[in-house]
Structure 1
Amino acid sequence: MFRAGEADPARKADPARKTDPARKAGPAGQELPPLTLPITRTLIVAGALASRDYQDVHHDAEAAREKGSPDIFMNILTTNGLVGRYITDHFGPGCVLRKVAIRLGAPNYPGDTLVLRGTVTESAEGSADGTAVVRVIGENGQGRHVTGTVTVALAADAGGPV
């Protein structure tokens, strides 16, 4: 889809989302810029299939309705990936996700919008192992979709195998 070395044009379009391979976490309390994601039927189905989650509620609207849901809904593995993307988009390609601990709340249905926000709760400079911790909250039109924390080793501290 893209030539080697070219970034996704959609990500290039937002200057606030620029990545810096050596970006620092900043002090505790620093807020990351929000990431707004449209929740499409394609995103939900593709995420479920990519994560090998073949539960019908993630791709078959009729089956989802038969089971009490108004439509298909996003699986936790897709949400986990979107949270990871949010952190790596912010901290750059040299960061390594060390731990992602999330909990789901309101479902993500097609046609909604997910807004991810993050706050640094532990700075890399203050930690013994050189990692930062970011509290992440994702909300949609139904309410809070995801909450959790991500522990991330930044570019200068990310050494070792991934």
Structure 2
Amino acid sequence: MSAQGISFDNTQVGDALPALDIPVSVELIVSGAIATRDFFPGHHDPEAARKLGSKHIFMNILTSNGLVERYVGAWAGPQALIGEVKIRLGAPNYPGDTMTMTGEVSAKDEAARALTVQLRGSNSMGDHVSGQVTLLFAEGAMA
């Protein structure tokens, strides 16, 4: 990987993405909910979240999706376009925890110049998010 990202031609199935620790804070959860126009009380009101059976406010799926795209996109660099994101949520992300993103290239399609990355974002309770991202590369583009 260079400072500008990866090269499609030099990336292989099994290549690991570097782990990324993301501290989960009240500010991250609330700002992510506001930015995605998700005003559900469980994402910003601790008392409302507790009434729902949650121990604290929790991250919304749109913020999780954005963090997945940031993680894979920053690794791949500007030569890659995110083609498809398929994620599912598991354990909630609560303030005070850390989500660690990890990933691995699981498929390489030479004809389509596409890479598939399997990933997970885990916290102290287990996997918060897991899934895959497909990256597309222009023909002949070099990083």
Using the size of structure 2 for normalisation, the TM-score is 0.90
Give me the whole-angstrom Cα distance separating, in 2, the residues matched to 1:140 and 1:19.
28
Larger fraction in strand: 2
**Paired residue secondary structure (1:87):** helix
Q: Which has the higher helix share?
A: 1
1:152 aligned residue: 135
Q: 1:111 and 1:54 mapped to 2: Cα distance?
A: 21
- Runs of 4 or more off by more than 6 Å in structure 1? none
Select which of 100, 104, 113 maps to 2:98: 113
Summarize the alignment of residues 74-93 of structure 1 with structure 2, pairs less than 5 Å apart. Answer: 74-93=59-78
1:50 aligns with 2:17: no
Give 1:157 deviation, angstroms: 4.1
Deviation at 1:27, TM superposition (A): 0.9
Secondary structure, counterpart of 1:46 in structure 2: helix
CA contact (8 A) 2:13 2:107 kept: yes
Amino acid at match of 2:93: N
Candidates 114, 125, 132, aligned match of 2:115: 132
The question of 1:20 aligning with 2:4 is answered yes
Taking structure 1 as reference, are residues 20 and 121 closer, same or farther at Cα in structure 2, changes over 3 Å only? same
Q: Give the total of aligned pairs.
A: 140
* Residue 55 of structure 2 is aligned to residue 70 of structure 1: yes
Is contact 1:41–1:110 with CA below 8 Å preserved after alignment? yes
Q: CA RMSD in A?
A: 1.9
Unaligned runs of 5+ in 2: none
The secondary structure found in structure 2 opposite 1:108 is coil
Other structure's SS at 1:37 match? strand
- Measured after TM superposition, the shift of residue 47 of structure 1 is 0.4
Could you tell me how far apart the structure 2 residues matched to 1:107 and 1:38 are? Answer: 14
Tell me the distance in 2 between the aligned counterparts of 1:29 and 1:112. 29
Unaligned runs of 5+ in 1: 1-15
**Structure 2 counterpart of 1:10:** none
Task: Look up the equivalent residue of 1:77 and give its one-letter code.
Answer: L
Cα distance in 2 for partners of 1:65, 1:46 equals: 20
Compute the TM-score of the two structures, normalised by the length of structure 1. 0.80
Q: Percent identity?
A: 45
The residue type paired with residue 41 of structure 1 is: V
